[in-house]
Chain A
């Protein structure tokens, strides 16, 4: 039978590592807790023991069981006893939120068997203080661990799991202490073969992966290697005998382990990897001049932009083509040569005419640009004239000096020759610029005429202007049926008009077209609506290249 003033408690023991001995072994902790309980007339109802668990958080199985037990036996438990506060936690935040307040809500307080923790003001302060001292100690340990690992890495020791082709090994340092490193294993020759094969520069990573699989190279766990694994293998500096990790700040440090490949092979592989990657990026960024219609042409089946690529031809060359390789379009559309598509597009442009408005705007811009260029030219001409005057003056002064015997005949000849040469060059340049100086009305008119011929304008335009033009004319793109070679669009710029030709509309029909449209407008409207419902894509046929 228990006395009335006897309190009940649960005890908590934790060791952070199985090697934890000294005066913090589980037995010592239990002994001290029991002594404390006996001295304070406390009965220990249950023991909880976390083995090899860190105190930097409260995610510990037995600690959680203890909390559950305490909450289940509310009013029957008065204390949780620990050997030291740092056994409960080494992190103040998680201790207060996940342990102290949880217990406090059920009237349970924590006691330390070796520290003055109680319910007084000072006792509560000491409770938090001892936890925070544990936290400080932990942080210090973490820092010193990082320092130690950094020092080891800088000396060339490998402190991680071994990379492919190596096994872990301990090697003695200068003072005979064993330090972590690696030694080649049975896979080393295969790894070396793969790395050296890539350095030859004529194999892709995908092909190298197949080569690695065929040569029997497997991961450490015996799994088939993926392209990612090969990529990591190629980037790994450890195979060239380096240490390269966060402890070396990703700088290459000479390692203590033997290399499988030479440093030159490693560098060559990195250069190949880098050039392949950078080339990839460029391919996406750089406009490909072979495909001026890329982005404009839409697939006639899915209405999405057509792809552009140049598959190899039988003769070993490349044939730039437009195509749609989406799963929904396979077998429904066919690819077409880029040149053929371009020719069709130029034929279409022959029938596109700019409005008067756009020609007026172009004329205005052209005159301003011409005048702007003219003012630049005027400046250049004026500078050249000044320079020619200076040359003449210098020439005259040279002759004067010669007459006055201030310079020798040789010096005079040299200077005069040089000045005459410069004069000739500058005079020729001046003549050229003076010819360009006059912007005649005829030039402007010829520019306007040129602008009216949209097809010719497009053909002579630089790539980026072609792109801007077509985006401006057909903002929603141009559906192109590569089989029938017909174009269609839902939207043509109001600044351009499409003038149908004989192929699109017969001559007889053309002559009666306006009357017919007026007479039959309602019928046409009904038909249009019916077609709109039937057509999968809302496009209007505007031109057939055939």
Chain B
């Protein structure tokens, strides 16, 4: 698995998450950031490979 850096601080994450995050602990928020980072990485990787595939299909 890729080495993941925490790209958003817990405080910033709490601000973005709003009142729903009040019941969540810092560890849970950290875990959420980590999971979403993995998803984002996966999406970007998936998107770029889709582009590459699309380009090849067009040829």
A residues at B contact (CB < 8 Å): 355-358, 360-362, 364-366, 368-370, 372-373, 432, 435-436, 443, 447, 450-451, 457, 460-462, 464-465, 468-469, 472, 494-495
Contacts and interface: CB of A to CB of B under 8 A. Distances in A.
Nearest to A435: B51
Contacts of B46: 460
A356 to B, nearest CB: 7
B16 A361 contact: yes
Given A361-B13, A361-B16, A365-B8, A494 B21 contact: yes
A361 B40 CA distance: 11
B20 A365 contact: no
Nearest to A494: B20
Contacts of B42: 461-462, 465
A451 B32 contact: no
B35 A366 contact: no
Given A469-B35, A494-B23, A365 B51 contact: no
Interface of B: 1, 7-8, 12-13, 16-18, 20-21, 23-24, 31-44, 46-48, 51-52, 55
B31 A447 contact: no
B4 to A, nearest CB: 10
Considering residues A357, A361, A465, which has the most beta carbons from chain B within 10 angstroms of its beta carbon? Answer: A361
Given A369-B7, A369-B41, A460-B46, A362 B36 contact: yes
Contacts, number: 88
Contacts of A462: 42
B55 A365 contact: no
Contacts of A362: 36, 39-40
A361 B55 contact: no
Contacts of A365: 7-8, 33, 36-37, 40
A481 to B, nearest CB: 28
A368 B17 contact: no
Given A357-B16, A368-B8, A494-B24, 14 more contacts: A356-B18, A358-B32, A360-B17, A362-B39, A364-B8, A364-B12, A364-B16, A365-B36, A365-B40, A366-B43, A369-B44, A468-B31, A472-B35, A494-B20
A181 B18 CA distance: 80
Which of B32, B34, B35, B39 is most buried by chain A, counting CB atoms within 10 A of its CB?
B39
14 contacts: A355-B20, A357-B16, A357-B21, A360-B16, A361-B17, A361-B32, A369-B40, A432-B55, A435-B51, A443-B47, A462-B42, A468-B38, A469-B39, A495-B32
Contacts of B31: 468, 472
Contact of B7 (A368, A436, A447, A495): A368
Contacts of B55: 432, 435
Which A-B residue pairs are the 10 nearest by beta carbons? Answer: A357-B17, A357-B18, A360-B16, A366-B40, A369-B40, A368-B7, A468-B35, A361-B16, A494-B20, A362-B36
Contacts of A460: 46
A495 to B, nearest CB: 6
Given A361-B13, A365-B33, A461 B21 contact: no
A468 to B, nearest CB: 4
Nearest to A451: B39
Nearest to B45: A373
A124 B2 CA distance: 74
B40 A436 contact: no
Contact of A450 (B16, B24, B38, B43): B43
B53 to A, nearest CB: 12
Contacts of B39: 362, 451, 457, 461, 465, 469
Contacts of B13: 361
A374 B24 CA distance: 32
Contacts of A464: 1, 38
A470 to B, nearest CB: 10
A450 to B, nearest CB: 7
Contacts of A356: 18
A270 B51 CA distance: 51
A441 to B, nearest CB: 13
Contacts of B38: 464-465, 468
B51 A358 contact: no
A360 B20 CA distance: 13
Nearest to A359: B16
A358 B8 contact: no
A365 B32 CA distance: 11
Contacts of A472: 31-32, 35
A357 B36 CA distance: 12
Contacts of B41: 369
B33 A361 contact: yes
A366 B51 CA distance: 18
Nearest to B29: A361
A92 B34 CA distance: 64
A469 B34 CA distance: 11
Nearest to A367: B40
Contacts of A447: 40, 43, 47
Contacts of A360: 16-17
Contacts of B32: 358, 361, 472, 495
Nearest to B19: A357
Most chain A C-beta atoms within 10 Å of own C-beta, residue among B42, B44, B47: B44
Contacts of A443: 47
B7 A465 contact: no
A465 B45 CA distance: 14
Nearest to B43: A447
B18 to A, nearest CB: 4
